[in-house]
Amino acid sequence: MMPAEASRQRIGPKEEQFSHSFYREINNQMYPYRILIVDDELSQRDMLSGYLSKKGLAPTSTGSAETALALITDHTYEIALLDLRLPGMDGLTLLKEARKAIPDISVIMITAHGDVTSAVEAMKSGAVDYLNKPINLSELIETISKAGERFRILSENRALKEVIRERSVSTEFIGESEPVKKLLSKTYRVASTDSTVLITGESGTGKELIAGIIHKASPRSNKPFIPVACGALPDTLLESELFGYEKGAFTGAERLRLGRFELASGGTLFLDEIGELSSAVQAKLLRALEEKQIMRLGGDHYIQIDTRVVAATNRHLESEIKSGNFRQDLYYRLNVIDIEIPPLIERREDIMILTEYFLNRYSTKYRKGIKGITSAAHGSLLQYHWPGNVRELQNAIERAVVLSSGEVLDIEDFPVNLKGSSQSRLLPADITTISDAERFLITKSLAKHNWSITAAANELGLHRNTLSAKIKEYKIERG
């Protein structure tokens, strides 16, 4: 039996004569497929292993189904050649167990002539094909090539779904302030339409969250939500990401690849940092929006698309239009409905709610028994201007939770730029909960302004109705 740890040698110049159908890409390098051969006939194993090795593949062979299952459990194989008739565990049972261990594995069954019924049963159980003995080597190569391509497509799709799942946004936009209530009200009204939406706001305000809410609340919610960070990719790569490419479109385009417009078909494509697009990509995007069709790089025909576009930017696109950096016609096409997200400083009353949310989240994530925040820390969080908005607050809370060695977060656990906030000196030392801090600050501000709710609301950065509701909630009475 050949070693289970079949080496993965990268393709060098001498190996270029072998078909790329026998290789898969890992971290921008091409590696031969690992193939497991399971056959109780030694001569058959040796013949197949020798032939596939000469073709640049990485075969491992064994005559035992039990050994094969152990190998599959411990190592990742892209393709398996399984004899249907094996001593002990039969090939059909091994097929089912192999697919449990490696869901994407491409299994090719080897059968004797006249055993078509079992071969068909194997196909129903997930085998991709079967070969009759004696094996025709040309047919073997063609079948392996197809099996490898199947594995590649399945694994890439699985990886893409995982990325989308990991990046899928929560529909929880935390906040109870009037600006947030108005924002969410408009967002849900917009969601039911199929119009293009342009979301604007400073970095860290939650533009992708709002885009996710639009998708989740729309008739397209059961289809993909695919985000693209337009500013993170150079023009050539961004075009490939958005529109896809045909095989041979450029050097290295070994196979057809669908773009994000096609992958988001029936769903929502979220284009973040839309203001970063070059003029060339802007022109192609404009056509896609106007004509509802795209052309892959290297393609010769247009493809109809059914994809809702939601875009976002932290730039003032009107200024970019005046300076010649952004197309006016594209702006109008994107800005059918506009949604502006207020900065955190304009909804200061949400800081405590967000703090409590992130504190619970990261305390659970890092298994820390954090029970509260000191008055000094409370004051600093409330008074700080948060140029990075909610993202900066989130990072500050996460950092504090990770670095804290006690049960209560203190000012020293937070970044140095928060420590100078003057409000930190306004809270009594016995205040350690967010609700107590909020009640204290409201009471203090009301007393300072002789119970003028309007003046106190302005000082605290609250809407007048919000302050009135909190006075009632905390049962604050005029002394």
99 or 311: which carries more pLDDT confidence? 311
Mean pLDDT of the chain: 84
Q: Report residue 311's pLDDT band, with 50, 70 and 90 as the boundaries.
A: very high
pLDDT at 426 over 60: no
In which element (H, E) is residue 466 found? helix 464-473
Lowest model confidence (mean pLDDT) among 98-107, 304-313, 318-327: 98-107
pTM score over 0.75 = no
pLDDT at 3 over 60: no
pLDDT at 164 over 60: no
User: Span 197-215, mean pLDDT?
Assistant: 95
Q: Report residue 452's pLDDT band, with 50, 70 and 90 as the boundaries.
A: confident
- Distance, CA of 110 to CA of 108 (rounded, Å): 7
Strand partners, 312: 199
Nearest to residue 97, comparing CAs of 154, 38, 16, 32?
A: 38
Q: Which residues are CB-contacts of 183 (< 8 A; sequence separation ≥ 6)? A: 173, 210, 339, 341, 342
pLDDT at 8: 40
pLDDT tens column, 65-79: 999 998 988 777 889
pLDDT tens column, 113-152: 667 788 888 888 889 998 988 899 989 998 998 888 888 8
Strand partners, 271: 228, 311
- Token digits for 455? 């003046």
User: Span 366-372, mean pLDDT?
Assistant: 86
- Token digits for 118? 């079992």
User: Span 90-94, mean pLDDT?
Assistant: 89
pLDDT at 407 over 80: yes
pLDDT at 256: 85
Q: Which residues are CB-contacts of 254 (< 8 A; sequence separation ≥ 6)? A: 20, 247
Q: Report residue 31's pLDDT band, with 50, 70 and 90 as the boundaries.
A: low
- Distance, CA of 67 to CA of 119 (rounded, Å): 22
pLDDT at 334: 97
- Token digits for 318? 């009107």
pLDDT at 161: 58
Q: Report residue 19's pLDDT band, with 50, 70 and 90 as the boundaries.
A: very low
User: Span 287-297, mean pLDDT?
Assistant: 94
- Distance, CA of 413 to CA of 402 (rounded, Å): 9
- Distance, CA of 331 to CA of 235 (rounded, Å): 19
In sequence order, what E strands does 275-358 have? 293-294, 303-304, 308-313, 337-340
457 or 230: which carries more pLDDT confidence? 230
**134 preceded by a cis bond (ω within 30 of 0):** yes
Contact 59/6 with Cβ under 8 angstroms? yes
**How many Cα neighbours within 13 Å face the side chain of 136?**
8
Domains detected in the chain: 13-164 (3.40.50.2300), 168-342 (3.40.50.300), 345-473 (1.10.8.60)
User: Span 54-62, mean pLDDT?
Assistant: 86
Total Cβ atoms within 10 A of residue 172: 10
- Token digits for 155? 């694994």
From its phi and psi, is residue 7 left (phi > 0), alpha (psi between -120 and 50) or beta?
beta
Contact 151/21 with Cβ under 8 angstroms? no
